[in-house]
Amino acid sequence: MQSPFREVTGRSGAARVPGPGRVESTGGNAVRVSLKDVALHAGVSIKTVSNVVNNYQHITPAMRARVQRSIDELGYQPNLAARHLRKGRTGIIALALPELGNPYFAELAAAVVDAAADRGYTVLLDHTGGRREQEILVSQGFRSRVIDGLILSPIELDPEDLRRRTETVPLVLLGEREYDLPHDHIAIDNIAAARAAVAHLLGLGRRRIAFLGARRDSSQPALLRLRGWREELTASGVPVDEGLVAATDGWGRADGARAMAHLLDSGQRPDAVFAYNDLIAIGAMRVLFERGLRVPEDIAVVGFDDVVEGRYGAVTLTSVSPDKAAIAQRAVDAVLARVQDGEHVPEQVKAGFTLVERESTLGRR
């Protein structure tokens, strides 16, 4: 009687591949399933299996399904480390972010990790704290021996810092600072996004619109959003009242609470607030609640970043929502394009955004 098993060779010796089933070692030790094993099980060539594993386009759906069934039944897992090493790479890219405690960056990091995993890469995460010296250290590729490329979201890094960069590890920039440099840069249009937020408030009849979050150290993204606030008010014929601009030292909930309290204590009573980010908006709404002011009846509030936290408060937060998934995908695509082709032409990419309208401006319906 013919055996239902076929003999294959593994590193631990002979093994039997059930047709379907798993690879079993004749010596009792587990044998790593290889491309050859999958090819034998599926009755196809090793090249065909390789094409399926590497997602080669020109494979018929029927053949792809046939090979995939064998992959699933045998439990085959590609040896990504070996694949990268054969190409002189590590299979690791680094992602350096300024503030991991900020939900926006946490959500962005998760999106980058997912996008990289789809390409067979692992992400090494670094926290710069938004400190210039740390951003310079990261940009110079201090982990270049173990990474193939770097995605960096700088806060304090100057263009001149990057011009002095001698490291050859491919670099892609994230965030809203403007750099006229030969590096890929993925960001949203801050001015347009701010104008959309202010236009929404103006469309609801609000005229005394405060801006919370102008950094005291003149952080560029804050200046761009403040510029959008001014431009939309001016374009709509509404006087720009600089007394409604509240500076902060940071971008957290406590900063928003202090800025809102300072604005109210100064005698400036807005009928709407546009906050630099969602955390500042959430802190501001807490103070409004403590002062007996209703959101949005007395003061409407718009945030920026559309973090999950803003969707689950007692009053859900209207927010500018950057396309985080697209930002992550474009960043990973850009850094890997540079890894694979040193002649890749850098791009300045504007990712999309939407204004998600919720209870903090529209009320409960």
Topology at the third CATH level for domain 86-187+324-351: Rossmann fold (3.40.50)
Nearest to 120 by CA among 78, 152, 151: 78
The per-residue pLDDT for range 104-121, each reduced to its tens digit, is: 999 999 999 999 999 889
The per-residue pLDDT for range 193-213, each reduced to its tens digit, is: 999 999 999 999 999 999 999
Predicted TM-score of the model (pTM):
0.74
3-state secondary structure of 245: strand
Task: Note whether 213 and 278 are within 8 A (CB).
Answer: no
| % of the chain with per-residue pLDDT over 90 | 57
Burial class (CB in 10 A: 0-12, 13-18, 19+), 77: exposed
DSSP string, 211-238: EEEEETT--HHHHHHHHHHHHHHHHTT-
Topology at the third CATH level for domain 5-78: 434 Repressor (Amino-terminal Domain) (1.10.260)
Q: Tell how many helices (H) and how many strands (E) occur in the chain.
A: 13, 15
Where do the H-state alpha helices sit in 56-189? 61-74, 80-86, 103-118, 132-139, 159-163
Phi then psi dihedrals of residue 143, to 5 deg: -115, 25
pLDDT beyond 90 at 169: no
Task: Note whether 199 and 236 are within 8 A (CB).
Answer: yes
The highest-level CATH class for domain 190-322+355-362 is alpha beta
pLDDT beyond 90 at 281: yes
The per-residue pLDDT for range 318-348, each reduced to its tens digit, is: 999 999 999 999 999 999 998 887 667 778 8
pLDDT recorded at residue 6: 39
* Residue found under tokens 């030969």: 182
How is the chain split into domains, by residue range? 5-78, 86-187+324-351, 190-322+355-362
Nearest to 111 by CA among 90, 95, 126, 135: 95
55 Cβ partners below 8 Å, 6+ apart? Answer: none
Q: What is the mean pLDDT of residues 14-31?
A: 44
Same fold, 5-78 and 190-322+355-362: no
pLDDT recorded at residue 107: 95
Angle, alpha carbons 287-291-295 (nearest 5°) = 70
